[in-house]
Chains A and B, each alone.
Chain A
């Protein structure tokens, strides 16, 4: 079984020194996607916790640098801004996977400082509110009937963590992951917009993203969360994939 939780991680450029006395100023957190996705959330978590703990003088600035689930930000922070000591980059298990696969170009994991894991998140299968799919069973049946009619959107490319979630779902239902239609967006925010517009039918993203977006009024529904137990809060009514008979 593959670990389901996506780690939210923070990264610092290698040349930078993190140790400093007193509150830091001009801090910045780079979210390597467009606003509204999981990276954004990671940065906002760092922002609020650092401010509450009085570690920073002003609220940390959040910068968005979309491209390749962190690839562009990774290259930028190492090549262009090695001297920015107070800049951190949000990272996820998904970006880690791409880094390991060499999709980040010439740099590897030794070029940065890995600072801290901020939290963990669980995968989620999300559809539009008006979608006819009500459960995982509906989804699998629809994919079985015609894989070209059920397009998966995700915040990353084929091989990424979001793709893994979709592929695992397909495999647990006895389908060939290669027959799936899969579209890569720049972060979960964009994918959810496309979901609401009906351009993709399913989004295999993260539970926290879905929760944030629903809070902001997005018309979406979560079919399943990929955790061992049901989550708390807004998603408490959403059954886990396991409950619905899919061991992912």
Chain B
């Protein structure tokens, strides 16, 4: 009952005209950003975050904007997957496998509408999941002391490296770079400057926003200038625009299953939409058995990953709101956005700032309805944007990024650091290094260090405290499983393939 009361309060916040408009704008921008190949939710949120701050939006409005962009991206990614066979963002990679063949068969309209529908169902189920589980977890969060937090962060890093599929070592390296960057600046315990090189601008550390904009936006711009994607392969939407009841009935169970799996994966810290959509795609493929034609335009291959990537995006809000530990790269950027507003996400947020938390949750429901409306009838508008060459976006992104970085501290040093980090990020990405672990490492680094220090000062340096409570033991076991199990699974799958070939 209490939850319902808070949720109604949240709707009162989310339904204010300004917040409604912001949610609609965010949903629209998000769909476009998600659709454009190369730009994903992290970029969208990273570019808009400083803008929202510079526009002096109140914190709940800013967060609603960023959340709508995030959800919008998960919707938008499917459009270019289906029509161009180029995934708009990482969460939509799986959608291309069956979405594009469907479009080639003249079913582009059906694929677009049913995937919008399953995205809607995925977000809706996951948002209900937030309402049910987040307050429970927030109450439980008091049991998280320094030792538990440290274990939780180790678990998050294990998730990142274990689940990053093909490049676990690169993901681990990226996380290390992020951790190292977070140590720059004045050590608050001893007053010693660390790695500042005597530069006054580094004395209070590297600003979060500079790192995010540098490694995501600036490096993205460099990549965009390098690779031109052509819109020549764009398939026209023709024929039937809407799915029929038979198609709905066929996909319904898979959509529900995928939404639940997506939500659970999203809640795990570090694991996001990419993993959720890949997992549910192969799950549905296995369950369909011989009567599926996955890879050749099976409609279930479009709905499952779309339901999952939206559900995991919503699910990743749970650890962010309750424990202050982001569940995905995008929510890591949002944590940074909140810290610009002096709001520390964590267990206290639910009691200290209910308007913000419940306003955000309510706005997820509202943005989701808006996105469904935007994405089914108005899909034609978005396909026109896909005809624009990518490089036309570069000046706009660069200008918004630079203004955002400058507005925080008003020093040109930050702009230079942003450019330097951008070039470094570009080089790392050329080597196939993922950037999301770097950002998570940077965000979590300080928390991790402080909590380890606190835990050890409770026991005077005795390491035993780290494995004392049931929560930390559970987290350590989970972390070990995350590191060990996926490689074993890959090895087994590899053997199977080899055996089948022989």
Contacts and interface: CB of A to CB of B under 8 A. Distances in A.
A65 B139 CA distance: 26
B204 interface: yes
B189 A185 contact: no
A23 interface: no
Nearest to A182: B457
A34 B344 contact: yes
Interface in B309-340: none
A186 interface: yes
Interface string B401-414: 00000000111000
B232 interface: no
Interface string A179-210: 00111111001000110111110000000000
Given A63-B342, A67-B186, A193-B347, A105 B143 contact: no
Nearest to A64: B342
B458 A183 contact: yes
Interface in A209-246: 216-217
Contacts of A181: 457-460
Interface residues of B, number: 36
Which residue, of B185, B200, B458, has the highest number of chain A Cβ atoms within 10 A? B458
Contacts of B343: 35
A71 B454 contact: no
B352 A35 contact: yes
Interface residues of A, number: 45
Nearest to A73: B204
B191 A98 contact: yes
Nearest to B146: A199
Contacts of B348: 36, 189, 193
Residue in B143, B410, B457, B459 with the greatest tally of chain A CB atoms within 10 Å: B457
A18 B479 CA distance: 53
B450 A186 contact: yes
B180 interface: no
Interface stretch (A48-56, A74-82, A166-174): A74-82
Interface in B338-358: 342-344, 347-348, 351-352
10 contacts: A35-B344, A36-B352, A63-B342, A68-B189, A75-B204, A181-B459, A184-B189, A184-B453, A199-B146, A217-B351
Given A194-B145, A196-B142, 8 more contacts: A69-B188, A72-B188, A105-B193, A106-B193, A157-B188, A183-B457, A199-B146, A199-B458
Interface of A: 34-36, 62-69, 71-72, 75-76, 79-81, 83, 98, 101-106, 148, 151, 157, 181-186, 189, 193-194, 196-200, 216-217
Interface of B: 142-146, 185-193, 200-201, 203-205, 342-344, 347-348, 351-352, 409-411, 450, 453-454, 457-460
